[in-house]
């Protein structure tokens, strides 16, 4: 990882507010430059609070939602109505509360075969983003095993170089997932990694150590032309 920016916040609430300010800024910058904002959401517990904060007038009134185009950097292979669905979490926390055209929301398909759904989602990414396939902003989290998106340790997707989106069998969870690959994530103009909670400390300690060895999937996030910003809370960096 090349010189990432690391910002440490008191707790998850402060981290989430910082992410919301960052979201508004990135959105305004992209709309000024290209008249739209393409963003990939992540799942997990950390972004939920960010999504809730984005619905408040303080933030929502400063976002031109009709110019925002939303994808998901990973999804569990479950129906969109399942409590495990990253789409459902985002819908309940954010999408149901904002005025965004339905055509701007690109939920990951999860009906049928995982491989066909991944190919369909990759085609949607290419259609909306064009040749560059470069998101304006990619939001990511990190699991306590060092996974990010659904790039889990020991999975075949880690060595995928041609595809932008791929299905992946996650043995540790006994489930299929659909995930952006490194190739797609690392084309992003900005990557925001939101990591809160003490259970992330053992992995963070290792990856930010001097001469850290590349062991965890999250260490492969390295946007070629973009910037990576870690938003961390004190619990994640101290373990307390």
Ligand X SMILES: O=C1O[C@H](COP(=O)(O)O)[C@@H](O)[C@H](O)[C@H]1O
Q: Interface residues with ligand X (CB under 6 A)?
A: 42-46, 74, 86, 140-143, 148-150
Counting runs of H as helices and runs of E as strands, what totals does the chain give? 8, 9
Q: Which residues on neighbouring strands pair with residue 60, listed in sequence order?
A: none
The residue (of 57 and 177) whose beta carbon lies closer to ligand X is 177
The residue (of 101 and 202) whose beta carbon lies closer to ligand X is 202
CA dist 37 and 66 (Å) reads: 10
Strands 37-41 and 137-140: parallel
The residue (of 34 and 84) whose beta carbon lies closer to ligand X is 84
CB of residue 44 vs ligand X: minimum separation in angstroms? 2
CA dist 70 and 73 (Å) reads: 10
- Alpha carbon 144 to its chain's center: 16
Q: Which residue has the closest beta carbon to ligand X?
A: 44
For 106, phi and psi rounded to 5 degrees?
-115, 80
Q: Which residues on neighbouring strands pair with residue 168, listed in sequence order?
A: 177
CA dist 146 and 201 (Å) reads: 10
CA dist 211 and 1 (Å) reads: 11
The residue (of 68 and 236) whose beta carbon lies closer to ligand X is 236
CB of residue 34 vs ligand X: minimum separation in angstroms? 26
CB of residue 188 vs ligand X: minimum separation in angstroms? 15
The residue (of 63 and 89) whose beta carbon lies closer to ligand X is 89
CB of residue 98 vs ligand X: minimum separation in angstroms? 20
CA dist 192 and 139 (Å) reads: 5
CB of residue 88 vs ligand X: minimum separation in angstroms? 12
The residue (of 31 and 220) whose beta carbon lies closer to ligand X is 220
CB of residue 48 vs ligand X: minimum separation in angstroms? 8
- Burial of 171: CB neighbours in 10 Å, binned 0-12, 13-18, 19+: exposed
């Amino acid at each position: 990882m090349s010189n990432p920016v690391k910002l440490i916040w008191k707790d998850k609430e402060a981290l989430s507010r910082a992410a919301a300010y960052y979201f508004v800024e990135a959105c305004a910058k992209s709309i000024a430059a290209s008249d739209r904002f393409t963003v990939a959401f992540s799942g997990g517990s950390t972004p939920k609070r960010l999504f809730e904060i984005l619905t408040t007038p303080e933030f929502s009134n400063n976002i031109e939602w009709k110019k925002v185009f939303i994808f998901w950097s990973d999804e569990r292979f479950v129906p969109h109505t399942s409590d495990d669905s990253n789409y459902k979490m985002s819908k309940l926390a954010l999408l149901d509360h904002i005025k965004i055209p339905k055509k701007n929301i690109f939920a990951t398909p999860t009906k049928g075969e995982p491989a066909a759904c991944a190919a369909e989602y990759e085609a949607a990414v290419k259609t909306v983003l064009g040749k560059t396939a470069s998101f304006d902003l990619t939001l990511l989290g990190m699991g306590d095993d060092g996974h990010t998106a659904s790039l889990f340790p020991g999975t075949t997707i880690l060595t995928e170089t041609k595809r932008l989106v791929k299905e992946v069998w996650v043995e540790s969870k006994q489930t299929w997932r659909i995930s952006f690959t490194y190739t797609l994530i690392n084309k992003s103009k900005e990557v925001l990694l939101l990591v809160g909670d003490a259970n992330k400390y053992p992995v963070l300690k290792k990856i930010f150590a001097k001469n850290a060895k590349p062991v965890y999937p999250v260490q492969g996030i390295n946007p070629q032309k973009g910037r990576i910003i870690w938003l961390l809370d004190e619990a994640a960096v101290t373990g307390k």
